[in-house]
């Protein structure tokens, strides 16, 4: 009953909302890119064609007046790639604003890469870009967050499966005569198990590295870049920095051009998604490191205060007249969360629960307010997972999914 809408007689099972939202958003972004490419091509392509015609006419007049062949002049100009006339570069590059070029452009806009190899030059194109980027960037960021959710969920289930196999094998090897009771106890303990964020970060890092290496192996021979240059381009593109000094798929023609452009688009999409997920997971490690430093500083301050209290108590005992009445006595003590008492399950270095325990109160309040505002008012959560609450954003999505996967469903 829970899997179907109330009052719905459709015999088909209800689509999972998370998966449906992810699929709908992916389809929307694809349609949005196609429509944006068509609009930008219609706006920016005519000025580009006129500029190219003016350039070729001027080049023909120059060669005729100075008695220089077009081949010699072209070879000379190709040595100076920075030469440009009317915004058209002299080297033989593919058109910027035909449909494939416009599609490549809108892809760099909504992904916030922004190589800068093509920019709108018309007033209409620039105004349209402002409104187009507002919706496109917001939708793409949400897509990256949902991709992170799906990735974290998959990794958590995979790591849990491997850990469960390891626990079962250990229980069978250590206690063959108590195989039944020992096995059930170990399996029950998996309800509170969390995958180490270090393992998740390691897997995402390896995935990003593999994609970068495969993409570099493709770019190096096709674009005539060195392998180091290809790796450099992959990091700049996948991290959405987008310097624009190296840009793929910019020549007039390639061998297997359609296949190469499709592969280039897919590799950039996969690389951006994986590196975005890696950055989000790494930010938790960095935040935990900062919390650890603050805890150490707080511990030192507590020890200093306690030492000062002992010294004052000794001085008051020696000098009773110096004792002053106070309304409230404030004691400084170190408070430990009962959920983070230092125990590590499954031999992991540190769990995500431990990472977020120190700041989960303020984070949960903020995310609860944002979630209630987005849903039109306060609502009761259907379930809670060991102190993790629902929220919005990449960090909240990952917290909820890591918590959910610790409970058998």
Token code pair at residue 34: 């196609």
The answer on pLDDT for 56 being more than 90 is no
What pLDDT was estimated at residue 60?
Answer: 84
What pLDDT was estimated at residue 82?
Answer: 43
Residue bearing tokens 């259907």: 382
Q: Which of the residue ranges 78-92, 111-125, 263-277, 307-321 would you say has the lowest mean pLDDT?
A: 78-92
> Percent of the chain beyond pLDDT 90?
37
What pLDDT was estimated at residue 409?
Answer: 43
Return all residues near 291 (Cβ < 8 A) that are at least 6 apart.
358, 359
The answer on pLDDT for 366 being more than 60 is no
Of the candidates 138, 132, 86, 113, the one whose C-alpha atom is nearest the C-alpha of residue 244 is 113
Give the CATH number for residue 106.
1.10.287.70
Domain count of the chain?
A: 1
Q: Which of the residue ranges 27-41, 211-225, 322-336 would you say has the lowest mean pLDDT?
A: 322-336
Q: What is the mean pLDDT of the chain?
A: 76
Examine residue 132 and state whether it is found in any structural domain, yes or no: yes
The answer on pLDDT for 131 being more than 90 is yes
Examine residue 94 and state whether it is found in any structural domain, yes or no: yes
- Number of DSSP helices (H) and strands (E) in the chain, helices first: 11, 2
402 vs 25, more confident: 25
| 327-332 contact pairs (CB < 8 A, 24+) | 332/302, 332/305, 332/306
Examine residue 102 and state whether it is found in any structural domain, yes or no: yes
Q: Confidence class of residue 94 from pLDDT cuts 50, 70 and 90? A: confident
Of the candidates 333, 325, 336, the one whose C-alpha atom is nearest the C-alpha of residue 306 is 333
Examine residue 58 and state whether it is found in any structural domain, yes or no: yes
φ/ψ (deg, to 5) at 334: -85, 125
The answer on pLDDT for 322 being more than 60 is no
Q: Check: CB of residue 193 under 8 Å from CB of residue 345.
A: yes
Q: How far is the C-alpha of 344 from the C-alpha of 20, rounded, in Å?
A: 36
Name 273's bridge partners.
none
Examine residue 352 and state whether it is found in any structural domain, yes or no: no
Q: How far is CA 371 from CA 153, 182, 324, in A?
A: 21, 43, 50
φ/ψ (deg, to 5) at 385: -120, 90
Q: Residues 201, 202, 204, CA angle at the centre, nearest 5°?
A: 65
Examine residue 121 and state whether it is found in any structural domain, yes or no: yes
Q: How far is the C-alpha of 284 from the C-alpha of 280, rounded, in Å?
A: 7
Residue-range definition of the domain harbouring residue 88: 13-143
Q: Check: CB of residue 97 under 8 Å from CB of residue 39.
A: no
The answer on pLDDT for 342 being more than 50 is no
Q: Check: CB of residue 392 under 8 Å from CB of residue 374.
A: yes
Examine residue 134 and state whether it is found in any structural domain, yes or no: yes
The answer on pLDDT for 353 being more than 60 is no
The answer on pLDDT for 55 being more than 80 is yes
Examine residue 138 and state whether it is found in any structural domain, yes or no: yes
What pLDDT was estimated at residue 260?
Answer: 94
């Amino acid at each position: 009953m829970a899997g179907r809408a109330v009052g719905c007689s459709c015999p088909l099972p209800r689509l999972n909302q998370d998966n449906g939202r992810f699929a709908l958003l992916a389809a929307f972004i694809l349609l949005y890119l196609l429509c944006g490419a068509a609009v930008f091509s219609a706006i920016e392509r005519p000025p580009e064609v006129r500029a190219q015609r003016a350039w070729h006419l001027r080049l023909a007049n120059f060669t005729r007046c100075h008695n220089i062949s077009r081949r010699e002049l072209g070879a000379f100009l190709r040595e100076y790639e920075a030469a440009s006339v009317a915004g058209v570069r002299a080297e033989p590059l593919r058109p910027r604003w035909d449909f494939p070029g416009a599609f490549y452009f809108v892809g760099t806009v909504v992904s916030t890469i922004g190589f800068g190899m093509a920019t709108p030059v018309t007033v209409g194109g620039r105004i349209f870009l402002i409104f187009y980027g507002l919706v496109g960037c917001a939708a793409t960021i949400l897509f990256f967050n949902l991709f992170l959710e799906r990735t974290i969920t998959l990794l958590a289930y995979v790591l849990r499966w491997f850990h469960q196999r390891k626990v079962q094998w250990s229980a069978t090897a250590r206690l063959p005569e108590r195989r039944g009771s020992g096995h059930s106890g170990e399996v029950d303990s998996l309800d509170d198990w969390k995958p180490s964020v270090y393992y998740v970060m390691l897997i995402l890092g390896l995935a990003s590295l593999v994609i970068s290496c495969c993409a570099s192996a493709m770019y190096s021979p096709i674009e005539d870049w060195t392998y180091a240059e290809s790796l450099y381009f992959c990091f700049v593109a996948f991290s959405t920095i987008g310097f624009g000094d190296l840009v793929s798929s910019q020549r007039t023609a390639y061998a297997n051009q359609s296949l190469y452009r499709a592969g280039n688009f897919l590799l950039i999409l996969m690389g951006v998604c994986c590196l975005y997920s890696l950055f989000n997971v790494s930010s938790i490690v960095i935040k935990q490191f900062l919390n650890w430093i603050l805890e150490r500083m707080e511990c030192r301050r507590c020890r200093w205060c306690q030492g000062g209290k002992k010294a004052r108590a000794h001085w008051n005992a020696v000098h009773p007249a110096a004792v002053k009445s106070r309304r409230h006595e404030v004691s400084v003590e170190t408070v430990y969360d009962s959920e983070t008492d230092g125990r590590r399950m499954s031999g992991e270095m540190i769990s995500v629960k431990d990472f977020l325990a120190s700041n989960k109160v303020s984070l949960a309040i903020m995310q609860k307010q944002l979630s209630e505002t987005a849903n039109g008012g306060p609502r009761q959560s259907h379930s809670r997972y060991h102190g993790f609450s629902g929220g919005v954003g990449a960090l909240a999505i990952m917290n909820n999914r890591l918590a959910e996967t610790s409970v058998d469903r």
